[in-house]
Amino acid sequence: MALVSDRLQWTGSEGRVQFFWQWSTLPRWRLLSDLQQLESRLSASKCSGKSEDIWIWKPCNSGIYTTKSLIELLTSSVASHVRPTIRNNLIPQKVGILIWRASQNKLPVRSELDRRGIDLDSVRCPVCDDDIESINHSFILCKTAFDIWDRIFKWWNLNMNIFADTAELSKGSNSQIQTATGASIWQAVVWVTSYYIWKNRNDHVFNNSRFCIAKLVSEIQIKSFEWISSRLKNGCLDWHNWLTNPRKFDVNPSSKEGIG
């Protein structure tokens, strides 16, 4: 294995540094910018000779990594810059985490992987192949996603008002919903729908499974009923109403209480 000192050499009285990289694959995209940063940092330092390279963990005075020091670092600095996750108490936290990751551009869609320098055969949407796969495309613009949203809005007897982006999708609000309970349940349905759109995308990529929009919508109705009805304190959801008129509770004053 090469030493750092094998790859760079200081020349002249000003100590200018020269690099001697031996690439098997030329760096590109993110790797290229990482390399430029590395060269810039190394240019400002001095190598003491042919001694063995070592890693130093700066957060510890000893230079040796400990889990405790990492936890302290995350708690004190990183965590304070991370935006809090979002939550809807009517559905499991894993769904909220997915929506939060989507709204923060933190899902491994192909355009994001490509931006990070990962070689892919294609950056096009694995579901429709009509466009580059971005997070907005996957959740909102993809024809399959759009058809699912169309059916969900129709099921709820709402005008189709597709979300501008995943930030709007995470809010999951709709001006036609009248009560606080209705707003929470509609947001939960929006999130569960997004969860199934992403699940369908992953089934397509990893299991090569064929999707059926009617079946997906049916699964969304069943799973959202199961999750929401078990978490509503007064348990006012009824399966028949849920399928035929899910906004019935939205105008019923007795359903204004009891969000879990």
Both tokens of 112, joined, read 């994001």
Does residue 220 bind Zn ion (CB under 5 A)? no
Cβ-based nearer residue to Zn ion, 125 or 140: 125
Cβ-based nearer residue to Zn ion, 144 or 255: 144
Does residue 128 bind Zn ion (CB under 5 A)? yes
Cβ-based nearer residue to Zn ion, 145 or 237: 145
Residue 3 CB, nearest approach to Zn ion (Å): 48
Cβ-based nearer residue to Zn ion, 142 or 177: 142
Stretch that binds Zn ion, among 13-21, 123-131, 159-167, 195-203 (CB under 5 A): 123-131
**∠ Cα 168 84 205 (to 5°):** 60
Cβ-based nearer residue to Zn ion, 119 or 129: 129
Stretch that binds Zn ion, among 16-24, 83-91, 92-100, 121-129 (CB under 5 A): 121-129
Stretch that binds Zn ion, among 58-66, 142-150, 170-178, 192-200 (CB under 5 A): 142-150
Question: Using the rule CB under 5 A, which residue among 140, 142, 148, 190 binds Zn ion?
Answer: 142
Does residue 109 bind Zn ion (CB under 5 A)? no
The number of residues that bind Zn ion (CB under 5 A) is: 4
Residue 143 CB, nearest approach to Zn ion (Å): 6
Give the chain as a DSSP string.
---HHHHEEEETTTTEEEE----SS---HHHHHHHHHHHHHHHTS---SSPPP----TTSTTS---HHHHHHHIIIIIHHHSPPPP--TTS-HHHHHHHHHHHTT-S--HHHHHHTT---S--B-TTT-SSB--HHIIIIISHHHHHHHHHHHHHTT------SSHHHHHH---TT--SHHHHHHHHHHHHHHHHHHHHHHHIIIII-PPP-HHHHHHHHHHHHHHHHHHH-TT----HHHHHH-TTGGGG-GGGGS---
Does residue 125 bind Zn ion (CB under 5 A)? yes
Residue 216 CB, nearest approach to Zn ion (Å): 14
Both tokens of 7, joined, read 């790859």
Question: Using the rule CB under 5 A, which residue among 90, 98, 109, 127 binds Zn ion?
Answer: 127
Does residue 135 bind Zn ion (CB under 5 A)? no
Residues that bind Zn ion (CB under 5 A): 125, 127-128, 142
